[in-house]
Chains A and B, each alone.
Chain A
Amino acid sequence: KAGVTQTPRYLIKTRGQQVTLSCSPISGHRSVSWYQQTPGQGLQFLFEYFSETQRNKGNFPGRFSGRQFSNSRSEMNVSTLELGDSALYLCASSLELGAGANVLTFGAGSRLTVL
């Protein structure tokens, strides 16, 4: 059974650019959540999608957005990149809605460097 697949694994952008990250969940998993991990702040919740709808959102500015497609694949977008957006972006999938109630399986992450 394939795990959670995230692409790209590594990317370098400059300030002001925008980036799109992709996540394919485990087959049969309908919930996808996104996290930002940095050495200083740890793992922080960005948002969760279920049935193509955003169900939960963390405390991040509107520059961070996402969507989910009918096949449960999800993308997140960060516009007008800032240096502080450099981080490891992790996607996690779970069977049902509610990141807190279900076991999360994480992808390998997309490491974003903003110069």
Chain B
Amino acid sequence: QKEVEQNSGPLSVPEGAIASLNCTYSDRGSQSFFWYRQYSGKSPELIMFIYSNGDKEDGRFTAQLNKASQYVSLLIRDSQPSDSATYLCAVSYRDDKIIFGKGTRLHILP
């Protein structure tokens, strides 16, 4: 059974600080890794994807992938109240199925 695990939170972070969101996955055959953001009452929207080990930066967001340890993380620098949302980690496998974690609720404190 392939699993994607996230801490449900809520994770409370002061405005301007770095928010660190973590995700672990069970299958070493995983190939692609995604972070989606979902505001309350809205649908998920892609923030970043990463395929290779290491870091990938896009503006205030950095995705980090460590395949040996089977985890992927998302760092949000200079956190803003508008970053308050649920962040979904998603992992895809060779058969192209994608499995989502249950999400981490992030709350940025003004």
Q: Bound pair: A and B?
A: yes
Task: Enumerate chain B residues within 8 angstroms of A97, measured Cβ to Cβ.
Answer: 96
Across the interface, A100 reaches (CB within 8 A) one of B46, B93, B101, B102, namely B93
- In the complex, chain A residues whose CB is within 8 Å of the CB of B44: 43, 90, 104, 106
Number of A-B contacts (CB under 8 A): 61
**Does A42 lie at the interface of the complex (its beta carbon under 8 Å from any beta carbon of B)?**
yes
What band does the interface of chain B fall in when counting residues whose beta carbon is under 8 Å from A?
Answer: 20 to 34
B97–A43 CB distance below 8 A? no
What residues of chain B lie closer than 8 Å to A58, measured between beta carbons?
A: 97
Q: Give the 7 A-B residue pairs with the shortest CB-CB distance, closest first.
A: A100-B92, A42-B102, A106-B43, A43-B100, A98-B96, A100-B98, A99-B98
Q: Mind listing 29 A-B residue pairs with CB under 8 Å?
A: A35-B100, A42-B103, A43-B44, A43-B88, A43-B103, A44-B100, A45-B98, A45-B99, A56-B96, A56-B97, A58-B97, A90-B43, A98-B92, A98-B96, A99-B92, A99-B96, A99-B98, A100-B93, A100-B98, A101-B32, A101-B92, A104-B34, A104-B44, A104-B46, A105-B45, A105-B46, A106-B44, A107-B43, A108-B42
